Amino acid sequence: MNDWLIFRGRKHSFQINRRTLIVVLLLIAANLAAMIICTGLGSLNISPIEVIRTLFGTGDASNHMIIFSLRLPRVVIAIMVGAALAVSGALLQGIVRNPLTSPDVIGISGGASLGTIVFILYFSELSIRFMPLWSIGGAFAAAILVYLFAYRGGITPLRLVLIGIGMATALTAVTYMLILTASFTPTAVAVKAFTFMTGSIYGVSWKRDVLTLLPWFSILLPVSIIYARHLNVQELGDEVATSVGSSLQAKRTILLFVSVALAGSAVAIGGAINFIGLMAPHIARKLVGPAYGGVIPVSALIGSLILLLSDLVARIAFLPLDIPAGVFTAAIGAPFFIYLLYRHRRS
Amino acid sequence: MKSLLITRTQKVAGLLIGLLVFLAGIVCSVVFGVADISWHTIVQSYMHFDGSQDQLIIRTTRMPRALIAALAGASLAVAGTLMQGITRNQLASPSLFGINAGAAFFIVAGTAFFDAGSLSAYATLAFAGAAFTALLVYLLGSIGSDGLTPLKVTLAGAAMTAFFSSISLGILLTGGQTFDQVLYWFVGSVAGRDMGIFNSAAPYMGVGLIGAWVLARHMNLLGLGEDVATGLGQKTMIIKLAAGISIVLLAGGSVSIAGPIAFVGIIIPHVTRYLVGIDYRWVIPYCAILGGILLLGADIGSRFIAFPKEVPVGVMTAIIGVPFFVYIARKGVRA
């Protein structure tokens, strides 16, 4: 049996790894199942069948309200934020060539948080549409700073990671300072800001959050899938990549841009959710091998699955309290990280 | 490595000057603030206490605050230098390796779930958390054949920090009423504490500081490399264990009185090595004094940067710390 399925059109042809295709289909199915379960469970439980009926417009009216205006936007946001963080992490790991990096470890999420908090505290009279711009701006500022500080006749992964960690610590402190010293912060605003910093997708709405994130997501994700193959070349090392004719720096800049923008826009809506950018690409590589053509879409699906399930646990484990989902991604992410350290001990 | 102060006389003189600045820092910390207080009132409040408002402010607010800043700064700096010594990693420090976050998590969790409100409970929880996290990060960092590499142990520390802070914040956010108060502490603050908090942890931290100084000679041997130290008859495991206990007392104690303050443990050991070289018999006392000065200074600054609001001192050290951190990371870390 051939490992590759080949599709030929009149002008273009492409091939898909059979195994990747199966994994992608299975993950889509798992995501759909998780969506339906997440939509059903909560302070009022709705059976999966009833959820499906409601989604197709034949359920009863009260369920319709709960599902469409409360639960579904949250589920959709979880999918987009999880996927964006996962893809951002996968791109970053390819660019830096270090399997232990992710947007939250090296300060990009911290920069995005800072940008968002500045927006929330000082520019909240502007339309929420501008929020991703602030987050992405913060993410870029942080990324550029980390890059410049780490640049010394080149970038080494060690220096980049160390400086990133230092920047992440400092950015968190500055963000805390802004929240605590803002001239008008009542406790409610502070709680909101801190919930945001832990990473939460509580209380999202179609109009405000989904429509804000959707344009970024639907542009950046396809771009990253299209550009993924350049990462395969880059993984071989700078010299090989240049000698086989890859315009290394230009492509790397584009990929870095996409990665930072994905993380920034995800943080704008979901807050600084930790560890997804680290975990998802590893699980993806485990499932479909190291070629980025497969890793990117599979990472996206795994990222959304992780956040869907984390948010589900966060919502229902301590009813009636709603815990930030970031707490649970940290709870599963840290042991996973330990496993990664353990597994990379030989390399 | 060339240091600034070379002869014994220079080092003693430097230490005395440092001690004077340290004491001046404590006085300034008591004098400056929203209500400016005269130097005379300070003396009066201890010699002839008459219960006036200024004197009360001094005895219940300003003096504990100054002492807590001084002790926490000294402890974090000494803990940092011990950690850098035993891990042979120039970026080792209680905040970066997750120890502060772990101690903070134990306090938050203990308070939330077991109703541990007393001062002694705070200290015990902080020590337990610091010990647990230190051991965990050390083990995680040394998994595998290549041993304790700077990258692995730093990443393990960062992961533990993210883990413990997320869960602590989660507990705080769902806890409700005391959020405002705990929050300041959570970022690292020395404001609004009384003498009781200082007294509850100071004895342990004192033991940690003295222990570090007693260990200094052995730390010098350890600095020559594990093989050399063993060859010269040193029981390196015991020294590392003793240093570990000191670190836990110092870092855990600091967190219990001032919250998880970052960067002091990184900055000061480097400044100290620049000043007096690598002999721990000098490094330890210099670290203690300079660490105290840094935190006292940062705390005084924190009262004026957003006047009349106060910034938590942990934010100040982070802002001061970043350029340093960048400098050290760029200079290169021994692999």
The answer to whether the peptide bond before residue B308 is cis (omega within 30 degrees of 0) is yes
Check if the beta carbon of residue B171 is closer than 8 Å to that of residue B108: yes
Inter-chain contact A345–B144, Cβ cutoff 8 Å? yes
Q: What is the pLDDT of residue B60?
A: 82
Q: What are the E-state strand segments in chain B?
A: none
Residue with tokens 């393990």: B156
End-to-end CA distance of chain B: 18
Helix axes A325-343, B150-175, angle to 10 degrees: 160
Tens digits of residue pLDDT in A231-290: 777 777 666 666 666 666 777 788 888 999 999 999 988 888 888 999 999 999 989 888
Note the pTM of the prediction, 2 decimals: 0.84
Q: How far is B138 from chain A (nearest CA, A)?
A: 12
Task: Let me know if residue A70 belongs to a domain.
Answer: no
A324 contacts in B (CB within 8 Å)? Answer: 166, 169-170, 173
Inter-chain contact A150–B172, Cβ cutoff 8 Å? no
Q: Is B298 on the interface with A (CB under 8 A)?
A: no
Is the pLDDT at B74 greater than 80? The verdict is yes
Q: Is B112 on the interface with A (CB under 8 A)?
A: no
A174 contacts in B (CB within 8 Å)? Answer: 315, 318-319
Q: What is the pLDDT of residue A183?
A: 61
Check if the beta carbon of residue B328 is closer than 8 Å to that of residue B263: no
> Residue B166: pLDDT band by 50, 70, 90 thresholds?
confident
Task: Let me know if residue A177 belongs to a domain.
Answer: yes
Distances (CA, A) of A64 to A206, A226, A249, A311: 15, 38, 51, 21
Q: Is A150 on the interface with B (CB under 8 A)?
A: yes
A329 contacts in B (CB within 8 Å)? Answer: 166
Q: What is the pLDDT of residue A30?
A: 94
B150 contacts in A (CB within 8 Å)? Answer: 158, 162
Q: How far is A186 from chain B (nearest CA, A)?
A: 9
Inter-chain contact B166–A194, Cβ cutoff 8 Å? no
Inter-chain contact A194–B183, Cβ cutoff 8 Å? yes
Distances (CA, A) of A211 to A73, A105, B114, B150, B315: 10, 28, 43, 43, 35
At A103, the amino acid letter reads P
Q: Is B185 on the interface with A (CB under 8 A)?
A: no
Is the pLDDT at B335 greater than 60? The verdict is no
Three-class SS of residue B234? coil
Residue of B nearest to A328 (CA): B167
Task: Let me know if residue A266 belongs to a domain.
Answer: yes
CB atoms within 10 A of CB B321: 25
Three-class SS of residue B115? coil
Provide the domain count of chain A: 1
Q: Is A59 on the interface with B (CB under 8 A)?
A: no
Q: What is the pLDDT of residue A347?
A: 46
Tens digits of residue pLDDT in B191-229: 778 888 888 889 999 999 999 999 998 898 888 877 888
Q: Helix-strand-coil percent breakdown of chain B, rounded to 5?
A: 75, 0, 25
Residue of B nearest to A332 (CA): B163
Domain that residue A112 falls in: 77-305
Q: Is A156 on the interface with B (CB under 8 A)?
A: no
**Facing residues of B309 across strands?**
B306
A321 contacts in B (CB within 8 Å)? Answer: 174
Inter-chain contact A180–B187, Cβ cutoff 8 Å? yes
Residue of A nearest to B151 (CA): A158
Task: Let me know if residue A114 belongs to a domain.
Answer: yes
Task: Let me know if residue A99 belongs to a domain.
Answer: yes
What token pair was written down for A139? Answer: 């993410």
Inter-chain contact A174–B180, Cβ cutoff 8 Å? no
What tens-digit pLDDT sequence spans chain A (347 residues)? Answer: 567 777 676 766 666 778 888 899 999 999 999 999 988 887 788 888 888 888 887 777 788 888 888 888 889 999 999 999 999 999 998 887 777 788 888 889 999 999 988 888 888 777 777 888 899 999 999 999 998 888 877 777 778 888 888 888 888 888 888 887 776 656 677 777 777 777 777 767 777 788 888 888 899 999 888 888 777 777 776 666 666 666 667 777 888 889 999 999 999 888 888 889 999 999 999 898 888 888 899 999 999 999 999 999 888 887 777 788 888 888 888 888 777 777 765 54
Inter-chain contact A166–B326, Cβ cutoff 8 Å? yes
Tens digits of residue pLDDT in A185-224: 566 777 777 777 777 777 677 777 888 888 888 999 998 8
Q: What is the pLDDT of residue B334?
A: 47
Is the pLDDT at B31 greater than 60? The verdict is yes
> Residue B128: pLDDT band by 50, 70, 90 thresholds?
very high
A197, A338, A346: best to mutate for the B interface, most B CBs within 10 A: A338
> How far, in Å, CA of B129 to CA of B116, rounded?
14
Inter-chain contact A170–B318, Cβ cutoff 8 Å? yes
A149-153, B69-73, B74-78: least confident range: A149-153
Q: What is the pLDDT of residue B333?
A: 57
Nearest alpha carbon to residue A162 among B334, B206, B42:
B334
Helix axes A157-181, B313-331, angle to 10 degrees: 170
Check if the beta carbon of residue A277 is closer than 8 Å to that of residue A104: yes
> Residue B42: pLDDT band by 50, 70, 90 thresholds?
confident
Q: How many CB pairs under 8 A join A and B?
A: 158
Helix axes B179-187, A157-181, angle to 10 degrees: 140
Tens digits of residue pLDDT in B267-299: 899 999 989 988 999 999 999 999 999 999 999
A272 contacts in B (CB within 8 Å)? Answer: none
Check if the beta carbon of residue A207 is closer than 8 Å to that of residue A262: no
Q: What is the pLDDT of residue A138?
A: 94
Three-class SS of residue B309? strand
> How far, in Å, CA of B222 to CA of B245, rounded?
16
A162, A167, A318, A321: best to mutate for the B interface, most B CBs within 10 A: A162
Inter-chain contact A170–B183, Cβ cutoff 8 Å? no
Inter-chain contact A324–B143, Cβ cutoff 8 Å? no
Nearest to B158 among A165, A329, A345 (CB): A165
Q: What are phi and psi of B92, to 5 degrees?
A: -60, 135
Enumerate domains of chain B plus CATH numbers: 8-26+39-44+54-334 (1.10.3470.10)
What token pair was written down for A14? Answer: 């492409």
HEC-encoded secondary structure of chain A: CCCEEEEECCCCEEEEEHHHHHHHHHHHHHHHHHHHHHHHCCCCCCCHHHHHHHHCCCCCHHHHHHHHHHHHHHHHHHHHHHHHHHHHHHHHHHHHCCCCCCCCCCCHHHHHHHHHHHHHHHCCCCCHHHHHHHHHHHHHHHHHHHHHHHCCCCCCHHHHHHHHHHHHHHHHHHHHHHHHHCCCCCHHHHHHHHHHHHCCCCCCCHHHHHHHHHHHHHHHHHHHHHHHHHHHHHCCCHHHHHHCCCCHHHHHHHHHHHHHHHHHHHHHHHCCCCCHHHHHHHHHHHHHCCCHHHHHHHHHHHHHHHHHHHHHHHHHCCCCCCCCHHHHHHHHHHHHHHHHHHHHHHC
Q: How far is B87 from chain A (nearest CA, A)?
A: 16
In terms of pLDDT, which residue wins out, B312 or B179? B312
Q: What are phi and psi of A155, to 5 degrees?
A: -120, 125
Q: Is B217 on the interface with A (CB under 8 A)?
A: no
CATH number of the domain within which A184 lies: 1.10.3470.10
Q: How far is B210 from chain A (nearest CA, A)?
A: 30
Q: Is B167 on the interface with A (CB under 8 A)?
A: yes
Residue with tokens 């605590």: A180
Residue of A nearest to B148 (CA): A345
What token pair was written down for B42? Answer: 């300070």
Nearest to B170 among A100, A181, A324 (CB): A324
Give residues with Cβ within 8 angstroms of A248, minimum separation 6: A234, A238, A241, A242
DSSP B165-183: HHHHHHHHHHH-TTHHHHH
Q: How far is A117 from chain B (nearest CA, A)?
A: 16
Q: Residues 38 to 97 of B: which have CB under 8 A from any A CB?
A: 91, 95-96
Residue with tokens 């969506």: A35
Q: What is the pLDDT of residue A344?
A: 65
End-to-end CA distance of chain A: 34
At A171, the amino acid letter reads L
